[in-house]
Amino acid sequence: MEFLTVLLAALLGVLSPAGFVADRLAANAIRQQFDHIEDLAVRIDSTPNYRLLQGRADRVRIAGRGVFPIADVRIDTLEVETDPIALNLSDANDLKQPIQAGVRLVLTREDLNSALRSEPVTDALRDLSLNFLGGTAQQLQRYDFVEPQVQFIAGNSPEAETRVRFQVSLVEQPAEETAQTPPQDNRIEITGETGLQILAGKQLSLVNPEIRINNEAVPPELVNLLLGGISQQLDLGNLQDSGIFARILDLQIQDDRLTLAAFVQLQPGFDFSDR
């Protein structure tokens, strides 16, 4: 939910007498926090309008299409709608009441596959591969990550589990060839597949995860050991100590996209200055 705090932090300066001009200023402030946004609309509602000069708004609506938090990582659709907002004008980071917002996020399979080929994600995959394959980081640097891709596998019925499949090839960079050392195809094929389940609205859990390396199944006990920490990292309850309360309301997976709906609350005392 880090991107949401970036959005709301950009709005705080707009909802103050010194910064207030129009919705367009809010949109410009948000654009400056991201690498790129293809299309963005911001609407700040307040009746009467002078309440904006008091740091109050009835509702803020943000609709973005083609949102790039960082280069090469694209969010297809991002929609945010807040409840009433009240700020302490003596300190734009101080909330008189919690900020509550509904969030809708759409990620397409095409954008996810493009993100998998980006440098930050490739580096993360290389680090993750250390856990699966062993060896050192220096040894894995000899391998190129080729054609990483994700696929959504819908169930045959509404009750059937929808699963996510990830696959990547690790191809060893060619060494200097001699007559005595003919070229070899040192390729490692990794395929992972898992279902997704939301626990108590706050934790994304992996259901029956499977991993195959060169078409050989990794024992379930080892898979669970290697992936055990991922569910903990995907627990939104970890954000509460920093003043963020978040819950996943719905998760829908289709053949070509993933749609997530969530509720987020930022508590008074939340420090926007660090975002």
Helix (H, G, I), strand (E, B) or coil at 4: helix
191-235 pLDDT, tens per residue? 999 988 888 888 888 889 999 989 999 999 888 887 777 777 778
What DSSP string describes 44-80?
A: EE-SSGGGGGGTEESEEEEEEEEEEEETTEEEEEEEE
> Could you read off the pLDDT of 86-95 as tens digits, one per residue?
877 666 556 7
Q: Greater confidence, 4 or 248?
A: 248
Q: What was the pLDDT predicted at 134?
A: 58
- Residues 188 and 269 occupy one common structural domain: no
Measured distance CA(202)–CA(231) in Å, rounded: 11
Burial of 149 (0-12, 13-18, 19+ CB in 10 A): middle
Residues 215 and 244 in one domain: no
| Closest to 239 (Cα-Cα) out of 259, 273, 197, 267 | 267
Are residues 181 and 266 both part of a single domain? no
Domain co-membership, 11 together with 102? yes
Distance (Å, whole) CA 95 – CA 264:
15
Q: Return the structure tokens found at 129.
A: 């591969």
Whether residues 119 and 228 fall in one domain:
yes
H-assigned helices in the chain:
2-12, 23-31, 109-116, 119-133, 137-140, 220-233
- The tens digit of pLDDT for each residue in 93-109 reads 567 788 899 999 999 99
Domain check: are 154 and 180 in the same one?
yes
Separation of alpha carbons 239 and 1, rounded Å: 9
pLDDT digits over 26-71, tens only? Answer: 888 888 888 999 999 988 888 887 777 777 888 889 999 999 988 8
* Cβ pair 54, 89 in contact under 8 A: yes
Claim to verify: residue 92 and residue 168 sit in the same structural domain: no
The count of domains in the chain is 2
Same domain, 145 and 164: yes
Across the chain, mean pLDDT equals: 79
- Residue 161, domain extent: 112-233
143 and 62, same structural domain?
A: no
- For residue 75, name the pLDDT band (cuts at 50, 70, 90): very high
